Amino acid sequence: MRRLIQGGRVIDPAAGIDRIADLAIADGRIVGLDMADFQPDERIDARGLSVIPGLVDLAARLREPGQEHKATVASECRAAAAGGITTVCAMPDTVPPIDSPADVRLVRQKGRNAHAARVAVIGALTQGLDGHHLTEMAALRDAGCVAVSNALHPLASPLILRRALEYAASLDLIVVVQPLERALMPEGCAHEGPVASRLGLPGIPVAAETAALGQILALVEQTGARVHFGRLSSAAGVRALQRAIADGLPVSGDVAAHQLFLTEMDVADFNALCHVLPPLRNSRDLEALRAGVADGTLCAICSDHQPHEDDAKLMPFPATEPGISSLETLLPLCLRLVDEGQLTLPEAIARVTCRPARALGLRAGSLAAGAAADVCVFDADAEWTLDVEQLHSRGRNTPFQGWALRGRVRHTLVRGEPVYQSSADSDPHA
C-alpha cells in the first residue's frame, strides 16, 4: 500500500525538519517528503495537523503474562496506539518475569497479534528477578530483547551488580536501572518530607535514589557497561547523572511524565492514585527534573505506564499498589510542557521519539527516507478533558481525571498501516 499524508506540519527532530510537507509512504517505509511523482493508493488529509515519528515509550507494564486481570498485551498496545505510541518497551516484571527466550518470544508474538503498537521487550537481569542468579543474557538478546533490567526488584549485592554489568557489557547490551536503594526505604511509600510526616506515612528519602546512583556509576566506570537510568525523581539524582555524562560515562536517563507535574502535595489527602515509585517529591525536585529535560540531561520522557484494577487503589495508602495508567496522557502532558514554556514543540517531540530510541539503540523515532513508517498524526490545538471511562487502557488509575489537556491523536501508523484512527467528529473527548 502506498499512502500520502498531505499538508501536515512535519516535525522530525532527528532530521531537523519542521515545515508543511507531504509525507510519502510505500511498502511500510518512509519514501520521503514532497515527492512530486509519487502516486498513492490512499491519501490522509493532515492539513492543520502535526505529523511526527511515532512515539517511543521506554517503560510500560503490559501485565501479561500473569496479571491479565489488570491488562493484556493486546489491550495496552491498542491504548499505546491511541496515544500515538508506536514502540512500547515492556518491562520484565510480569508474573512470571520475562527471563527466558520463550517468554520474550511469547510477549513479542502477542504484540504482533495485537496489530497495534510494536513491543520491544526488556528482559530480566536475574532469574525470576531474584537478585541472585543472572539470566542467560545472550539468549535473551538473541530472542529479541533490547535491554535487560531488574525493574524495581533489588539485587542481592554490589557484586551481583558488577557481574551483571560485566556480562551485559561483553554483549553490548544496555542495562536499564531504576535507582532505589531498598535498604534505605523499608516499607516506604511516599517522599520523606513534611507531607509524609504529617500523614504518618513511611518515607522514602532522596538518598535512596542517590545512594543507588553512586554505587552503579562507580561500577559503570569500572566495567564500561552502558546503563540507562529510568524514572529519576530528584534534583540530586539529576545532578549525579549530569556529572556522570560530563565525565564521559556511557549513561543516559529518563523521567516519567507525571513527575513533571505532580509533587508530594498531591498525596496530602491520601490520594492513592498518586502512589508511585519513585515517589512524588517536592516542588524543587520537580523544577530540577524539568530543567534536566530542557537541557538534555534527561534525554527522554516516558509514561511509566502501570495499569491496575480498581481494587488495587482502594486500600489504605501504604497498602495500595504503586503506579499510574499513563499511555494516553504521555503526548498531552509533553504538549503541556510546551504551553508552559519549558520546551519548544520540536524539543518536546524529540524527548518522546528520537532521543529515547537512541538511548536504547532502537530503530525508531525518525521519518528519514527508508525508515519504518511509524507515524503519529495529531491535532495540537484540540482541547479535551480527561475522562477515565474513555481510556483505551484497561487501567483507569490516573490522577489526571478531569484535567484539561491539549493535543489529540488522529492517526497512528505502524509499518505504514493504520493501527488507530479518530476524527474530531467521532472523538468522545473532543
Give the span between the Cα atoms of 25 and 380, in whole angstroms.
Answer: 22
User: Which domains are assigned to the chain?
Assistant: 2-51+372-421 (2.30.40.10), 54-181+207-364 (3.20.20.140)
pLDDT at residue 416 in the model: 98
Q: What is the pLDDT of residue 430?
A: 45
State the catalytic residues. Answer: 304
pLDDT at 27: 97
Q: In this structure, how many other beta carbons lie within 10 angstroms of the beta carbon of residue 321?
A: 16
51 grid coordinates: 505529523
Residue 427, pLDDT score: 53
* 209, 278 contact by CB (below 8 A): yes
Give the contacts of 292 (CB within 8 A, at least 6 positions apart).
Answer: 232, 238, 241, 242, 253, 255, 298
Residues of the chain with pLDDT under 50: 428-430
Confidence at residue 271, expressed as pLDDT on a 0 to 100 scale:
97
